[in-house]
Amino acid sequence: MTSRSENLALPPEIKYQELGTVEAQQLIDSFIERIERRDAPEAGTLNDFFPLVKDALESKQNAENVPADKRLLFVEEDPPEALDTEAITFFLDGRVNGSYSRGRPGEGRVRELTPHLRGQVEHPDHPGEQLLILGKFWDNTIKFNIYAMNNKQARERLLWFENVMLSYRWYFAHFGYRVFETGVGSRERVEVNDRKLTKYPVVFELRTEDIVYLDAQELKRISYSGEAKF
């Protein structure tokens, strides 16, 4: 998934306490109407989540009129190799088979070890034939590290980031993601390229789903070969 910020207006910021208001819903509906022409929401995969976070960060900084040379870095390399401003890094810190039942991801007692049938759709290339939709949930632990020049800046950036993740929760949900914060780790003073920085780790749990489409012939091949049981 490429960032929609390159071709489309970025998602509007909707503060968490404003969700459910008429004005907020109008903004959300208008944005979704524009992007659905190009990006129909499907099940969210892990790799597709991070560009959405980048979209949200860019949108927030646009709203705050942050100059280009003052914008924070959002990179996967940890620690960031070059840091002239503040930075947020991200990485996968854990991934287990998705659990289901009532409650948040990870709280269910039954884990989805293999894909299960989610539904069926018309085959786009073979009229009259159906495609089976198989899905498998994953519960992912994502760690973001907040880097700044001093303790105060790091704390303020941490709170800013938490607010962004809440303000754009509707945006993540539109693309099939359930995400919530589970906690903030201890502050650390670290050295990166001879610079002393403050780092705050913040952890989020993310529910994703891998989707597989099977036609009748593929399903028969799997069934006869015993490659997988659904």
| Residues sharing a CB contact under 8 Å with residue 135, sequence separation 6 or more, in sequence order | 43, 115, 116, 118, 209, 210, 211, 212
Average pLDDT, the chain: 79
At residue 97, the pLDDT reads: 86
Would you say 55 and 172 are in contact if contact means Cβ atoms under 8 Å apart?
Answer: no
* Confidence at 2, pLDDT banded by 50, 70, 90: very low
CA nearest to 174, candidates 62, 33, 15, 60? 33
How far is residue 17's CA from residue 76's CA, in Å, rounded to a whole number? 30
Residue 50 lies in a domain: yes
Would you say 74 and 88 are in contact if contact means Cβ atoms under 8 Å apart?
Answer: yes
At residue 195, the pLDDT reads: 86
How far is residue 175's CA from residue 48's CA, in Å, rounded to a whole number? 9
Q: What CATH number has the domain bearing residue 171?
A: 3.30.2000
Residue 166 lies in a domain: yes
Residue 57 lies in a domain: yes
Residue 217 lies in a domain: no
pLDDT in tens, 177-195: 989 999 999 999 998 888 8
User: Which alpha helices (DSSP H) does the chain contain, by range?
Assistant: 22-35, 46-63, 151-167, 169-174, 216-225
Would you say 86 and 73 are in contact if contact means Cβ atoms under 8 Å apart?
Answer: yes
Residue 104 lies in a domain: no
Most confident stretch, 26-35, 124-133, 187-196: 187-196
Task: Kindly state the tokens that stand for 110.
Answer: 């039954």
Would you say 176 and 189 are in contact if contact means Cβ atoms under 8 Å apart?
Answer: no
CA nearest to 56, candidates 138, 205, 169? 169
> Domain total for the chain?
1
pLDDT in tens, 217-229: 665 555 554 555 4
CA nearest to 197, candidates 90, 93, 89, 58? 89
Q: What percent of the chain has a predicted confidence (pLDDT) above 70?
A: 72
Q: Is the pTM of this model over 0.75?
A: no
Residue 217 Ramachandran class (φ > 0 left, ψ -120 to 50 alpha, else beta):
alpha
Q: How far, in Å, are 5, 124, 129, 131, 221 from residue 217 at the CA level?
A: 40, 15, 11, 10, 6
Beta bridge partners of 122: 130
Residue 105 lies in a domain: no
Residue 174 lies in a domain: yes
Residue 30 lies in a domain: yes
Task: Kindly state the tokens that stand for 205.
Answer: 């749990």
pLDDT in tens, 97-110: 887 664 555 555 67
> Looking up tokens 């659990």, which residue turns up?
99
C-alpha 224: how far from its chain's center?
A: 37
The range of the structural domain enclosing residue 40 comes to: 4-95+137-208
